[in-house]
Structure 1
Amino acid sequence: MKMLLFKMEIIDALNNNYKIKISNHIEDTLIEFNPYKKELNFIHNNNLTDCLKDNEYQLRKMLHNKRIDTYYVGFNVKLVLRCNKDVAAFNDRSKIVALDKRNNNNHSYVIAEDKCEEKIYKIFSDACYFENKKHGGFAFIIEDLEGNYKLFTEKVQAIGSSQAELTAVIKAIELLKDIEKIRIVTDSQYVRKGLTEWIPCWKLNDFKTINGEPVKNIENWLLFDNVCNGKYIEFQWVKGHSNHFENSLCDMYARDVAENSKNF
């Protein structure tokens, strides 16, 4: 995947219209953005402007998601876009996203369902976490090529729901360290998007968000990235609590271990 790295700096502001300089190693351009009205204007007209227009959806999404309090003159951060990313396809939750990290590659792409691997190990996972009690649990099922299931559960504490989801998948992949092709079936967009969309950007922008803040749970994300090296991973999202058999089973066992983890 080709990544585009820029420097973004807010250089002026007037009536909630923020003038932003975006530059690369060759040239710079100016845009204007109003975070309240969500209006974006391209001020200059050069090759860099054309590049930003080609990837306008990604740029708009980042500007829209940026917190209001981080719009101020002097703010600067590295901005990373993926060249010609099919945003609509990646955002289509019915699509399976593949990540190929074999042969020192790091390529993610959306694949049609009929193009997925037919014979592949599967990981089904879910987590339950009680924020008020600061404990929870996760469960995952590994299905081998013959359709046999193995269930694993574990208690967790003081890590949060998203981290519990991520930890479950990491532990499952560690158990499949000798397996090259794996499909992860999850109801977590956090898990689905992390390696396929976010980490390639974080590695280039010093692990900062568009708000200029450190990415949360980066240790777990780097571990997840590392255990997937040399593997082909398919990410399939399923809606939680939708009577998907394996997902419902993981949810049941995750809740059971969470509810019985009061004294650990």
Structure 2
Amino acid sequence: MKMFIFSMEIVEDIKEKYKIKIEGKQGVAHVFFSPKIKELEFIENNEMSRYLKENEYQFRKILHNKRQDTFYKGFKLTFAFRDKKDVAAFNDRSKIVVLDKRYNRIDSYVVEKGEKNIYKIFTDGTFLEKKNTGAYAVIIEDINHNYSVHTEKTAIKGSSQIELCAAIKGIELIKDVDKICIITDSQYVRKGLTEWIMCWKLNGWKTANGEKVKNIENWIKFDKLTDGKYIEFHWVKGHSNHFENTLCDIYARESASLSLENFKY
């Protein structure tokens, strides 16, 4: 999928409406945007403006994800669009999102059905607030349908971060396998590596708000571990009687309930 990189700068503040300059391969365009009412106005009718309109959903998503207090004159951001991205498909949780980092390229796209002969990583993580402890579980299913289970206790606080650690551990456990399907109930893991990470890296691991990405070390590790691999991300709803996901949840909770000694980070 072809990617285009752009830079934007807020050049004027006019009573809660901001004039933004966008520059890229297609030229330069200016827009007005009001973060309070989410109103977007294209000023020129040139090639860049037309391209932004064609990809308005992606453009709006960047603007909408910024907090109101991070709109100010002088703010700069670099971002990327997937040309003619099928936004609806990427947002459809029933679809499988593919990250293909083989052949010295990076591509992401959506498929209806995944590969048949592929290693599967099932993950889940939990953080027990009352005990102030967390853990994750990873189930590996190889192409011969043999299962192996790994659980690990962690001092990390927060379910999303623990889910990320579970996915990383799964990749590490089968590091020599280049075609993998990750089955997870975490949108943080699924979208982070297939959609968000590109803009984070373009901005020195900062978000659209200009703030440091949380869990940078783990995201960098996850990114490097997946180099050269074909990864399918299959999202499942948590606590929906999906067998392996439910089993991971049980193992993770049991592990988190054990002694506080010997935490893994």
- Normalised TM-score (structure 1): 0.94
Partners of 2:97 and 2:235 lie apart in 1 by: 9
Q: Give, as a single letter, the amino acid of the residue that structure 1 aligns with 2:10.
A: I
Q: Distance in 1 between matches of 2:122 and 2:191?
A: 16
Counterpart of 1:103 in 2: which secondary structure? coil
Contact 1:134 1:160 in 2 (8 A): no
1:109 aligns with 109
Q: CA deviation at 1:240?
A: 0.1
The amino acid that maps onto 2:227 is N
Q: Partners of 2:104 and 2:157 in 1: how far apart?
A: 31
1:21 aligns with 2:21: yes
Specify every segment of 5 or more residues in structure 1 that has no aligned partner in the other structure, as ranges.
none
Q: Partner residue of 1:228?
A: 226
- CA contact under 8 A between 2:138 and 2:169: conserved in structure 1? no
Q: Separation in 1 of the partners of 2:118 and 2:204?
A: 35
Letter in 2 for 1:104: N
Structure 2 unaligned segments of length 5 or more: list them.
none
TM-score under structure 2 length normalisation: 0.93
Determine the structure 1 residue equivalent to 2:148. 150
Encode CA deviations 1:57-79: one digit per residue, 9 max, x unaligned. Answer: 01111111110101122222223
Shift of 1:81: 2.1
Map of 1:96 onto structure 2: 96
| 1:75 corresponding residue in structure 2 | 75
Percentage of matched positions with identical amino acids: 60
| SS of residue in 2 equivalent to 1:206 | coil
1:140 aligns with 2:126: no
1:49-198 equivalences in 2 (<5 Å): 49-113=49-113, 116-131=114-129, 133-198=131-196
| Alpha-carbon separation, structure 1, partners of 2:25 and 2:236 | 42
The answer to whether the 8 A contact 1:135-1:261 is kept is no
Counterpart CA distance in 1 for 2:72 and 2:226 is 39
| Corresponding residue for residue 202 of structure 1 | 200
Over the aligned positions, Cα root-mean-square deviation in angstroms equals: 1.6
1:26 is displaced (CA, Å) by: 6.5
Tell me, in whole angstroms, the C-alpha distance in 2 between the residues paired with 1:79 and 1:172.
30
